[in-house]
Amino acid sequence: MTFRPAFDIALEYEGAAVFLRPSLLAATRLEALHNGFPALLMKIQQHDTTTLRRIIAYAATDQNAAQRFIKAMANKPLKDIQHAALGPA
């Protein structure tokens, strides 16, 4: 088992796993894409799949794992993607 700092966020979907690390760089890139945090937060609340894919890509500690995870989610029901992003209740 590999040690992961407490601030990494693990996502898993159909055998694909990715670790996300919140960073100022990722936040800045996401904010710029949406012309501000209010619009970014609205897209997240709406479970906008493009925004979710970009969050995964920008915050991933391993870009290859991020692309595998994103491909695993392609053409899947939004409810499944939401469950993977939120984790178990």
Whether pLDDT at 82 is above 80: no
Q: For 74-78, what is the mean pLDDT?
A: 81
Q: For 72-86, what is the mean pLDDT?
A: 77
Q: For 14-31, what is the mean pLDDT?
A: 92
pTM of structure = 0.80
pLDDT in tens, 25-70: 999 999 999 999 999 999 988 888 899 899 999 999 999 999 999 9
Alpha carbon distances (Å) from 18 to 27, 34, 62, 69: 18, 24, 7, 7
Count of C-beta atoms within a 10 Å radius of residue 31 = 15
Residue among 46, 21, 19, 18 at smallest CA distance from 34: 46
Whether pLDDT at 1 is above 70: no
